[in-house]
Structure 1
């Protein structure tokens, strides 16, 4: 099954994913606090769900800001990594396994649903957005961080990276079944989100995050991420 292959890959990647940035995890969390401050409601305590939490960076940033946060990931090994990061930093957040396309959460139970590098990985992004709309309170917010990782003319997988071979093996069948697996421009993501009951959409490229990553990495990060925000129509 496609989901099994996706989980297999991210379970395997969990030991190395984002590892080169872990020495600066506190700086990264503070970076995301600065990003979120102007785009989420001020002075309110929010119930937040991060879908596709990976190592839990965004979840931990929002928890540190005083919100109640649950991080969900298809990969049990990623969940363990996020839990370990929370314990290491002494930040309270909950993490558990879950499927982005079948979120087992009550209607109206979240004020904010957030994701980072999730949308391009989904076989059925419509299912994720329909679920997010159901789970959010009226006027609740969805935030998606992503990047145009693959295009029709360019494949950003670097052959000399140690995980490229296993990625190709796991994703050979998966990638043709990902609607946002290629050309997932911010405009395309905004159009998809607004077509699922969301309004007041905004987006921008995260040049500042790209600069932060390059200050740590050895220059392999070539795609500038973007952030999309929208609200559930009341």
Structure 2
């Protein structure tokens, strides 16, 4: 798996400068920002310690900081983290960015009150291991929010060569209930799947998967 992850990391370090320019990534879309502002508002009033997993160029992290939370953004691409830091400085906000891997988070157990993962689930080489890590770093009662879009016909090889994408278990037409089951197996309670509103003219169906780490009895 290390060879797979290093190949993927190298891809984003080389091409991460172009991430914000792709319409599909939605980083410049007012409707996408409003959608995620509404999603993240479900975490309740801040300040909470929130981890943005796969932060990329900081789209979710910036919204969380605007909502008043103490935010840590994690990504494995130095190229994308550099862009995120520029955005934070320009916005006059405070966010901690950390280079690291999603399947082996560099944080102590029970470090965060909540976590978010946008456009991440499909990229995971070891989704069971990653989601178990997400559970580990949440405090009891902490909530996870992640989106998931089943891959549509014609999207093969969109981000990585087919020989890489074929090794990503969730990079296919997987039912969202199957992804939700991974959260349940990791220990999350109250796991829910809901379809998110579609953008006008889009045929893409995206789901929000949420759950929380039970409080200790």
TM-score by length of 2: 0.87
Equivalent in the alignment of 1:78: 80
- Contact 1:139 1:231 (8 Å CA) reproduced: yes
1:205 and 2:195 aligned: yes
1:231 is aligned, of 188, 203, 212, to: 212
Equivalent in the alignment of 1:156: 155
Equivalent in the alignment of 2:36: 32
Give, in angstroms, the shift of residue 28 of structure 1.
4.5
Q: Distance in 1 between matches of 2:28 and 2:7?
A: 31
Equivalent in the alignment of 1:179: 169
More contact order relative to length (CA 8 Å, sep ≥ 6): 1
More displaced, 80-89 or 14-23? Answer: 14-23
Report the secondary structure of 1:128's partner residue.
helix
Equivalent in the alignment of 1:108: 110
Q: What are the Cα deviations for residues 118-176 of structure 1, in whole angstroms up to 9, with x where unaligned?
A: 111111111111111111101111111121124xxx23258xxxxx5xx4xx4333222
Equivalent in the alignment of 1:97: 99
- Contact 2:156 2:162 (8 Å CA) reproduced: no
Give, in angstroms, the shift of residue 92 of structure 1.
1.8
Q: Which runs of 5+ in 1 are unaligned?
A: 159-163, 215-220
1:55 and 2:54 aligned: no
- Contact 2:156 2:165 (8 Å CA) reproduced: no
Q: Distance in 1 between matches of 2:84 and 2:36?
A: 16
- Contact 1:69 1:94 (8 Å CA) reproduced: yes
Give, in angstroms, the shift of residue 13 of structure 1.
2.9
1:190 is aligned, of 170, 180, 191, to: 180
- Cα RMSD of the aligned pairs, angstroms, is 2.3
Q: Structure 1 residues 31, 207: CA separation in 2 closer, same or farther (over 3 Å shift)?
A: closer
Q: Distance in 2 between matches of 1:222 and 1:97?
A: 34
TM-score by length of 1: 0.81
Q: Which runs of 5+ in 2 are unaligned?
A: none
